[in-house]
Amino acid sequence: MVINPKTYAPFESAEEYILGWTDQIWEEYGLGRLHEHYADDMVVHGAYGPIRGMETVLRGSLVKKSAFPNRIGTAEDVICEWRGDDAFISHHRVFHSGPQEGQWVYGAPSGRNSESRNIAICLVRDGLVVEEWVVRDEYRVVTTLGLDPEEIARTVAFTDEEEGLFGTPAPEDVLVRGESGPRPETHAKEAAFIREFIDDVWGRRHLERVPEFTQRDLFLETTRSRIRTRPKNYQIELSQMLAPFPDATVEVRDIAVNTAPEQGTRIGVLWRLTGTYDGAPVYGPVTHSPIEILGASQFLLRNGRIIREWRVFDEIAVMAQVAKARGDEPRLG
């Protein structure tokens, strides 16, 4: 396939496009350059609902930069896959760290160091981001700032849109076409492998199959900076993630696979969990109310099996939904 260089202009590759624009906007205070980076009518799908339009993104970015002027975002990996000859999807895993030095939606400057892992998934067409899915470990942000997650969850609002966080039905066959469009024929085996893992192990609860898909020294990093090692502890962590919503359905919404000599084969997955909060009371007394989670995972394969997973979803957004079901009065931050 011949790729139109306009797809990642003005950079030399798709990976450089993602890393270069991130630095220009956030490290160099180039917030006004968002006009050159985002399409005017772009949509960002986040854990609390969609954000529409580049101008809305610009306003929110300005507020965040003022609160965390010295926050550093370190790129852990960028997984890119082509979507035709004029577009690509990128799964950008970033670790953020830096002090809160300005007023933020959660309160006055604390001076405390905030840290968290984010995964930003961008669909880029002809040099512009046209759609984005952003997943943050906001629970870690809140606790590293010394704040009470329950209190914060009561102050944020979850979307009221009937379409939910995605606004579209789940793809019929994510191996052929996901949220970001038609997939290439490359890496079909790896994409099918990871879909089977999530569909059967996560979705159908065949946790006994975890060792079939993973290496002995499996390493999982998940929300709240929790680390779990080996298949047994992966099974325990997964059961604990699902236990608050025992009827949960997990949809794989998009897959991207990339192999590089220095990094190996990595797979980025965008997923959605829906269920009822009527199981383990992890987020306070059960409310028997619906829950929707936008999540992302990145997997590293070794000899065709999973050796590492980085999993990100926003537990503050989950708690906000529970607070809303309890009747707590939310306010927009």
Residue 149: CATH number of its domain: 3.10.450.50
Answer yes or no: do 184 and 319 share one domain.
yes
The predicted-structure confidence for 88-146, as pLDDT tens digits, reads as follows 999 999 999 999 999 999 999 999 999 999 999 999 999 999 999 999 999 999 999 99
Whether the full predicted model's pTM is greater than 0.85, yes or no, is yes
Question: Which residue is listed with tokens 């979507």?
Answer: 83
Confidence band for 3, pLDDT divided at 50, 70 and 90: confident
Q: What is the pLDDT of residue 164?
A: 87
Number of Cβ within a 10 Å radius of residue 40: 10
Q: What is the pLDDT of residue 332?
A: 42
Gap between the Cα atoms of 238 and 91, Å rounded: 22
Answer yes or no: do 193 and 317 share one domain.
yes
The predicted-structure confidence for 266-312, as pLDDT tens digits, reads as follows 999 999 999 999 999 999 999 999 999 999 999 999 999 999 999 99
181: exposed, middle or buried (Cβ count in 10 Å: 0-12, 13-18, 19+): middle
Q: What is the pLDDT of residue 159?
A: 82
**8 Å CB contact between 205 and 281:** no
Q: What is the pLDDT of residue 143?
A: 97
Answer yes or no: do 144 and 181 share one domain.
no
The CA-based dihedral angle spanning residues 38, 77, 217, 137, taken in that order and rounded to the nearest 10 degrees = -40
Rounded average pLDDT over 147-172? 89
In a domain, 169, yes or no: no
Answer yes or no: do 121 and 190 share one domain.
no
Q: What is the pLDDT of residue 158?
A: 82
In a domain, 134, yes or no: yes
Handedness of CA 247, 153, 285, 223 (dihedral sign): positive
Answer yes or no: do 202 and 133 share one domain.
no
In a domain, 297, yes or no: yes
Strands 214-222 and 87-99: unpaired
Confidence band for 170, pLDDT divided at 50, 70 and 90: very high
In a domain, 331, yes or no: no
What is the count of structural domains for the chain? 2
Higher-confidence residue: 2 or 104? 104
Q: What is the pLDDT of residue 333?
A: 41
Answer yes or no: do 146 and 189 share one domain.
no
Q: Compute the mean pLDDT over every residue in the chain, rounded to the nearest whole number.
A: 94
Answer yes or no: do 109 and 221 share one domain.
no
In a domain, 332, yes or no: no
In a domain, 279, yes or no: yes
Confidence band for 330, pLDDT divided at 50, 70 and 90: low
Residue type, 139: Y
In a domain, 72, yes or no: yes
**8 Å CB contact between 320 and 229:** no
In a domain, 248, yes or no: yes
Q: Among residues 153, 168, 192, which one ends one of the domains?
A: 153
Q: What is the pLDDT of residue 1?
A: 57
Answer yes or no: do 20 and 112 share one domain.
yes
Confidence band for 5, pLDDT divided at 50, 70 and 90: confident
Rounded average pLDDT over 210-224? 98
Gap between the Cα atoms of 230 and 216, Å rounded: 6
The CA-based dihedral angle spanning residues 314, 317, 319, 321, taken in that order and rounded to the nearest 10 degrees = -150
Residue type, 270: L
E strands, 139-184, are 177-178, 181-182
Answer yes or no: do 78 and 183 share one domain.
no
Rounded average pLDDT over 245-250? 98
Answer yes or no: do 200 and 255 share one domain.
yes
Answer yes or no: do 236 and 317 share one domain.
yes
Rounded average pLDDT over 236-257? 98
Domain that holds residue 101: 5-153
Answer yes or no: do 193 and 265 share one domain.
yes
